Structures are given as C-alpha cells and as structure tokens.
Structure 1
Amino acid sequence: MSHILIVEDEPKIAELIADYLHSNSYTTTHIDHGDQVLPWLEDNRPDLVLLDVMLPGMDGLALCREIRQRSEHIGIIMLTARVEEIDRLLGLEIGADDYICKPFSPREVLARTKALLRRISQITPPDAEDDASCPLVLDHTGWRALANGKDLGLTAIEFQLLSVMMQTPGRIYSREQLMEQMYRDHRIVSERTVDSHIKKLRKKIADVWPDRDIIHSVYGVGYKYSPDE
C-alpha cells in the first residue's frame, strides 16, 4: 500500500485530496507547514509527495530541492496556483516529477499519482540483483539499502546510521559519534534515540536476513557493523 505525503496549508484542499486517496486504498499523512516536512522525513519515507508551492515556513520549491537531494526515488508532484512558476517546474530545475495547476479536481490528482507511482515501480534498483547471493548494497543516490535485491525501506536516519557503520566494518561507534552523524544540526537528543533507531534498523534487516545478525551491540560502548561474525 503506497503512502502519500500531502504538504498543503489549505485544510479543505488537503482533506479533499486525502479522502479521495483513501477511497482508492492509499494511506496519507498531512503536513500544513513547510518547516515540519524535513524533520518528518527523517523518520518516515513516503512513496510520493504532493507538495504545494506556497507554504508557510519553508516554501515548496526549496522543499522539493531538499527532498530530491535525499532521494531520487520519492515521487514529487507540485501543486501550484502561481503561473509564473510553471516554466521552472516544467524545466525540472527543482527536481519535481510532475505538477498540477490549481484549481484541480481530485480525480486528476489521483490519475497523476497513479501514473507516477507506476513509473517509479518500474525503475530497476541500481547494483541490485534478485538472487540470494546479493550482498547488502547502499544506493546513496536514492538513499536506499538493498538486501538480496530487496529495498529495506529505511528512513533517512536509519540509512545514515547504516552508512556510517558500513564505512568501517568492525569499528565500534559510540552513541555520541552516531548522533553526530544523524543530527548535523546539533539538536539535543538522548542516547536512547540512537538505541531506538538501531532497534528499528536491525528489525528491518532481520525481516530479510532472519539468520544473520550484522549489527552488534557492544555493552557499555556502542554499536558496530560486522557481517562476518
């Protein structure tokens, strides 16, 4: 079931889109303020973002650039009532996949959403194979981890954690070192936050490799990536 993030500050429009998507078996999350989007994406990974251009806080154009830098595989459809922005959207200067002009019908939003999700699903993941011998592969362009050719569905934070540890297999990273990599804005978080993310990461790996434990806890110190133990 695909998850759609609706970033729209007009409640009635957002509710109309969400109701229509729900009736077609999609799940949705609604955010109405631009500044809340990137923090949400640290712990969540939608399949597609419906992104309004005019937003309080961080505007939709800047958000689109940031989202695209994080992943090439999240679909982005811009919603705009600003005619002067259309040339920029069509020129793909900001990394959007498509755009819809306001006012629009929810049926059009649904059709564009289905079409884009179909295109995304047909993209073959780079460096991935379908056989069981395929190693754990990090796709830094798309912010994805592939195990046995299967996308683990990691959040941005989980991907960063795994990427850091995989750079030096066997090295023990303290929680403080991992937090420095996870939160470059130096926000204050507890060490339990790291433990929580590691727990979720290990579960996602175990769902694909139930017989392999590749991330190990070192009591009183931290964690290490060691696929050979």
Structure 2
Amino acid sequence: MNILMIEDDEHICEMMAMYFEMEEDWQTTFIYDGEEGWQYYKEHKDDLDMVILDLNLPGKNGLTICHDIRQENPYIPIIMLTALDNESDQVFGLETGADDYITKPFDPQTVMARMRALNRRAQLTSERLQPSQSKDNSNDYDIVTNYLRINERTREAYFNDQMIEGLTPKEFDILALLASYPRQVFSRDHLLRTLWEDPFFGDERTVDAHIKKLRQKMEKYGPQLIQTVWGVGYKLDESDVE
C-alpha cells in the first residue's frame, strides 16, 4: 500500500514507520501539519491507498481533512487516530467519513490489523466497481425488497427508485447484509465479525455510529427500515411500513 499518515507526534510516526517497513514493506509519507497534509493529499490522491489522520492537528484538524477527502473520494479507507476516548468524539469522527477510529495509546499490531482489513475491503470494492462500465449489468440487482434495489457489483443502492447518495463502503455493506436477510436480527458482534475483521480489535460502538449515519442518509428517501432490537442488535424490517 501507499499510505499517507498525518500525525503531529513524531514518535508515533517513527514507531509506525518501523512496523510498516518490517512487516509489510508499505510505502508511507508522514506529515506533521494538517494543512500541509491536506495539500499533499490533493497533489497525490490518485496514488494513495489509505489515509491515517490524527484528530487534533496544527493547521487543519483531522475532522475537517476527513470531511474534505470524503467529498472527493468516497472509497479511500480513512483511519482516525485520537487521544480522546468518548462516544461523542468517536461518532463525530465516523460521521465525517472515517472508516475506523483508534484511540491512543494503541498497539501497533492492532493498527496493522485494522489497515489490512480495510485494504481488503477497498480492493473488493474496486473489483465490484469494474463491471459498472458494462451497460449489460447496469439494471441487474442482487438484492430486491419492497423498497430497496441493491447492485453489489456497481455498489449502488436505490430506495423508492432513488439512488441513496453518499454511502461509504461500510454503510453499503451494512445495508446489503441487512437487506439480504429481512427481519433477521444481527448482533453488533455478528456485524463486526462479518463486515470488519475477525477478531475485531476495538469498540463495538463503531457499529452504532455507522448505523446512525446510514439511517440519516436513508430517511431522505422514505420510511425508516432499519430497526433497533434493544439488547440484541439491528434488523431491516419492511413488514410494518404503510
């Protein structure tokens, strides 16, 4: 992978550089200032496979950079690093478009595992997007419900015949899984093991943050289909929708 890491703690950068080189031989550019990191991204975005962002950066903060990157590229994996550790910070970071959230101090091996998992999913997304150039596949849908039509090859989801705009790769994966098994309840642990990596190293509230954002994007097009089953997990249920 070709990685951009924007982090103002040089000791963390030095530590991760050692792991990247020893274990994976990944090429990584380290930048310690937010504004400089954003400029570097704009100049090299076509060559980058992943971005790692600190939340609190001089010049331009990580949340703003993450939001700006997502406006240009909805698919590049983004990991947010932060010394803060509360649910509101995590949710806010994920809502700006981050795919994952890691709290300092962290185990470098945990970061590596998250990066490998994100890279695998990014490669699958890229492969699935390739057939979208073929008109023969443009009207094929792998998942069809009363309200939804989902094409897993083109990574497009339609709600009431309107494309759901701005879905991140993770949000699409969650929607596709829930829609594939209507009314089946999926626990947070099941979603993490299926759509993240197994075993998952992190906070299971990551699922809640992604579900919240997915609901916000879907409610623009019709009734709320994703329901919370308290104490268990989530399901997609159209049976009670009028």
Aligned Cα root-mean-square deviation (Å): 2.2
Q: Residue by residue, what CA displacement relative to the aligned partner does 1:142-180 show, whole Å, maximum 9, x if unpaired? A: 9xxxxxxxxxxxxxxxxxxxxxxxxxxxxxxxxxxxxxx
Give the structure with higher Rg (CA).
1
Which residue of structure 2 lines up, in the alignment, with residue 21 of structure 1?
20
Which residue of structure 2 lines up, in the alignment, with residue 9 of structure 1?
8
Q: Percent identity?
A: 39
- Structure 2 residue identity aligned to 1:65: H
1:125 aligns with 2:125: no
Give the SS at the match of 1:28. strand
Which residue of structure 2 lines up, in the alignment, with residue 113 of structure 1?
115
Runs of at least 4 residues off by over 6 Å: none
Give the C-alpha shift of residue 74 in structure 1: 1.1
- Structure 2 residue identity aligned to 1:125: L
- Structure 2 residue identity aligned to 1:58: K
Matches within 5 A, 1:1-229: 2-23=1-22, 24-45=24-45, 46-84=48-86, 86-90=87-91, 92-123=94-125, 124-125=128-129, 128-129=132-133
**Partner Cα separation in structure 1 for residue 49 and residue 64 of structure 2:** 19
Give the SS at the match of 1:56. coil
Give the C-alpha shift of residue 122 in structure 1: 0.6
Closer/same/farther in 2, CA of residues 88 and 82 from structure 1, 3 Å limit: closer
**Partner Cα separation in structure 1 for residue 88 and residue 77 of structure 2:** 19
Q: Residue by residue, what CA displacement relative to the aligned partner does 1:11-41 show, whole Å, maximum 9, x if unpaired? A: 0101111211122121100010001122112
Gaps of 5+ in 1: 131-140, 143-229
**Partner Cα separation in structure 2 for residue 11 and residue 76 of structure 1:** 20
**Partner Cα separation in structure 2 for residue 71 and residue 127 of structure 1:** 19
Gaps of 5+ in 2: 135-165, 168-242
Structure with more of its chain in helix, by fraction: 2
Give the C-alpha shift of residue 88 in structure 1: 4.3
Give the C-alpha shift of residue 127 in structure 1: 6.1
Give the SS at the match of 1:57. coil
Give the C-alpha shift of residue 126 in structure 1: 6.3
Q: Residue by residue, what CA displacement relative to the aligned partner does 1:187-220 show, whole Å, maximum 9, x if unpaired? A: xxxxxxxxxxxxxxxxxxxxxxxxxxxxxxxxxx
**Partner Cα separation in structure 1 for residue 114 and residue 20 of structure 2:** 12
**Partner Cα separation in structure 2 for residue 63 and residue 47 of structure 1:** 16
**Partner Cα separation in structure 1 for residue 13 and residue 108 of structure 2:** 10
Give the C-alpha shift of residue 128 in structure 1: 3.4
**Partner Cα separation in structure 1 for residue 68 and residue 55 of structure 2:** 14
**Partner Cα separation in structure 2 for residue 88 and residue 53 of structure 1:** 9
Aligned residues: 131
Closer/same/farther in 2, CA of residues 69 and 119 from structure 1, 3 Å limit: same
Give the C-alpha shift of residue 90 in structure 1: 3.5
Give the C-alpha shift of residue 42 in structure 1: 2.2
- Contact in 2 for aligned 1:88/1:94 (Cα 8 Å): no
**Partner Cα separation in structure 2 for residue 88 and residue 102 of structure 1:** 13
- Contact in 2 for aligned 1:89/1:96 (Cα 8 Å): no
